[in-house]
Amino acid sequence: MSPGGLARSAALAADETGTSTYEESLVPNEMRPSLWDVQARPIAADPPPLPLPLSFEDVTTLHARAMERRVLDGNVALGLVGEMIDYHLRTGGKRMRAFLPVWVCINLGGRAEAAFDLGAGLELIHNATLVHDDLQDGDTHRRGRPTVWHRWGAAQAINAGDALIFQAFARFAAAPELRRVLDVIALLMVRVVEGQALDSQLQLPRGHEAAVEPSLATWEVMARGKTGALFAACMVAGAAAADASDAVVANAACFGEDLGLLFQVQDDYLDLVGDKGRERQGRDLMEGKLSFPVMWAYEHAAPEDVAPIRRILELPAAERTWAMADTALAALERCGALAATAAWLLAKAAEAEMHPTARVVPGLVERCLEPVQHNLAQLARGG
């Protein structure tokens, strides 16, 4: 770690008060929302800069070994279940959901150890949703390796995901702040499942009894649940572990949900312009998924551009072809859906950077856009 990083660590470790002038300035007393009000919007405030906040790299460097012990070495499952969990957890990833609570906790003046088990538990739940999501979406590869269901079958993938959830409970049980956050984390995890269910409903053919009329508003509800709720849980866990005020915790949840929405739109955009570790671009089209760019096209594009997009998405999966996907992708670019998505990302990222909680996690918004940063830069240059 750099000398600056060590200095930041020493400065934060020396603060044993559990509160900071930053936290106190984050939300005025008279404007504090109710506890766990995840619908509260950002509070207008202009807090002074945090004294020497740690970066994400600082946190991962300092605490990687402790976190990996809890996430990887804490796998207690035996036999095939243990093998599948270990296989999936070693497919890679930056452990963002694991370290985000630790990062928030430290930069709000708390001790890293107070957030370790909460972070590890949320990381395990995140991976459980990935195992199940791969199965539901029919994804055969994740980060270049066969997915659990593709290697061991659908039934065993369900078992592996279920076991990951229960191992997360074991990690939560060891967390000092469990009593304060368990109810809200449980509620937010229900929001994740609701979002996943709504995502599946959006893909149903028109006329199906469970189908939902697609719109950008409905899509946002889905994304705030499926992706935003888990980010909100991570922010809540970190703020609570730092013994932050109820208002700071609630506003951290709001920031996390908005950040998750930003991440989901980025992920949808990446599928069409970049590399998600899949076979090729446009895999979401082949899966019949109504992504943000597709929803934008449905509401704003001319009928002749929408037609090839609807065609591939409304066909049975077995009848879709990559030639159809290429045609739909060209239509999305031609009608301005890709450019509109990029513009949305840039605008929402700028908004997120202005949120008071963004100062607790410096660089996180930029990190969320990192996979598509090159494409966004090209667009900004008119390329």
Q: Average pLDDT of 216-230?
A: 96
**Angle separating helix axes 303-314 and 292-300, nearest 10 degrees:** 140
What pLDDT was estimated at residue 222?
Answer: 96
Average pLDDT of the residues of the chain:
85
Q: Average pLDDT of 136-140?
A: 85
What pLDDT was estimated at residue 275?
Answer: 60
Read off the tokens for 263. 């991440």
Q: Average pLDDT of 265-272?
A: 94
**pLDDT digits 0-9 by tens, 10-63:** 333 333 333 444 444 444 444 433 334 434 444 444 444 434 589 999 999 999
Tell me if 214 sits within 8 A of 295, measured CB to CB.
yes
Spatial neighbors of 263 by CB under 8 A, at least 6 apart, are 227, 231, 368
Spatial neighbors of 29 by CB under 8 A, at least 6 apart, are none
Q: Looking at residue 224, what DSSP letter applies?
A: I
Among residues 96, 12, 20, the alpha carbon closest in space to that of 363 is found at 96
What pLDDT was estimated at residue 72?
Answer: 87
Top pLDDT among 272 and 5 is at 272
What pLDDT was estimated at residue 18?
Answer: 39
**pLDDT digits 0-9 by tens, 321-355:** 999 999 999 999 999 999 999 999 999 999 999 99
Q: Average pLDDT of 64-86?
A: 91
**pLDDT digits 0-9 by tens, 291-307:** 999 999 999 999 999 99
Domains of the chain: 56-176 (1.10.600.10)
Residue 220 clears pLDDT 70, i.e. is over it: yes
Round to whole Å and give the CA distance between 124 and 118: 10
Is 246 exposed, middle or buried (CB count within 10 Å of its CB: 0-12, 13-18, 19+)? middle
